[in-house]
Amino acid sequence: MNNNEYIIVVKDLNKSFGNQQVLENINFSLKKNDNLVILGRSGTGKTVLLKCIIGLIKPDKGEVIIYNNPIFKLDNNKLRNIRKKIGFVFQNAALFDYFTVYENLKFLLDRNFFDMNDDEKHAHIMSILEKVGLEKSYTKYPEELSGGMKKRAGIARALILNPEIVLYDEPTAGLDYYTSLEISKLIKNLKDYHNTSSIIVTHDLKCAEITADKVMVLSKKNIIFEGLFNEFMDIADKIFSNG
């Protein structure tokens, strides 16, 4: 696969909850080694879309195709193999409270990398923690971490299985300006270092500016803009004044 090929394709995606339609005829693609930022106000369906992509929510209509596999037509084993290639960074980091940072990462390795011995696991864990700036905090429990450190631990959790795709759900939410900058720069650096492809859901314009190769804006169930960040900023006031 070359860099111009699409690794995720979303076709005619629709999702409703009861009488409320959240997503309507959503179509877009993600190129290999690109960061796609999905912008939109709270409640516009950004997180629902992200969960549809990973298969946590089934759409009412439409397809999500990952590496040429329509994921909602796959059996559980094939879907599990696709998901192993995808890291998901949850808003709340999704860490086990009763495990240290180190133990949270080792838990995933123990259940997925059966041919890796303890020394190799230790080296891999410490390498990932160093990349996210937590190599000195590996013995801490989640309750002992600051908001920014929890975000970093959540990113480390997503990276530990060496994913080819990373999905970020509001990675800077709840953080102060300077910590948000640090997390945004970390996302950009990790993409460059690991050659990952990412979808980043956010309403943080600075995060989008730093991380995005391409920007997509979701509003009122639909995609209303696709393009470069600078192109978006030229018309942002008009876009958001219309809801």
Look at residue 98 and tell me if it is in a domain.
no
| Contacts for 131 with CB less than 8 Å, ≥ 6 apart | 156, 159, 190, 193
Rounded distance between C-alpha atoms, residue 235 and residue 241, angstroms = 10
Quick one: average pLDDT of 150-173?
93
Rounded distance between C-alpha atoms, residue 150 and residue 144, angstroms = 9
Q: Residue 93 — very low, low, confident or very high, per pLDDT cuts 50/70/90? A: confident
Q: Which of 129, 146, 150, 147 is nearest to 138 (CA)?
A: 129
User: Which DSSP string corresponds to 87-111?
Assistant: EEE-TTTT--TTS-HHHHHHHHHHT
Average model confidence (pLDDT) for the chain? 91
Q: Which of 11, 158, 31 is nearest to 91 (CA)?
A: 158
Look at residue 135 and tell me if it is in a domain.
no
Provide φ and ψ at 190, rounded to 5°: -65, -40
Rounded distance between C-alpha atoms, residue 8 and residue 31, angstroms = 7
Q: Residue 23: give its domain's CATH number.
A: 3.40.50.300
Look at residue 51 and tell me if it is in a domain.
yes
First to last CA, the chain: 38
Convert the pLDDT of each residue in 174-215 to its tens digit: 899 999 999 999 999 988 888 899 999 998 999 999 999 999
Convert the pLDDT of each residue in 204-229 to its tens digit: 999 999 999 999 999 888 999 999 99
Convert the pLDDT of each residue in 32-91 to its tens digit: 999 999 998 877 889 999 999 999 999 999 999 999 999 999 999 999 899 989 999 988
Look at residue 22 and tell me if it is in a domain.
yes
Is the distance from CB of 205 to CB of 184 less than 8 angstroms?
no
Look at residue 10 and tell me if it is in a domain.
yes
Provide the domain count of the chain: 1
Look at residue 140 and tell me if it is in a domain.
no
SS3 assignment, position 31: strand
Bridge-based pairing of strands 6-17 and 61-66 is antiparallel
* Residue-range definition of the domain harbouring residue 39: 1-85+203-243
Look at residue 168 and tell me if it is in a domain.
no
Look at residue 95 and tell me if it is in a domain.
no
pTM passes above 0.85? yes
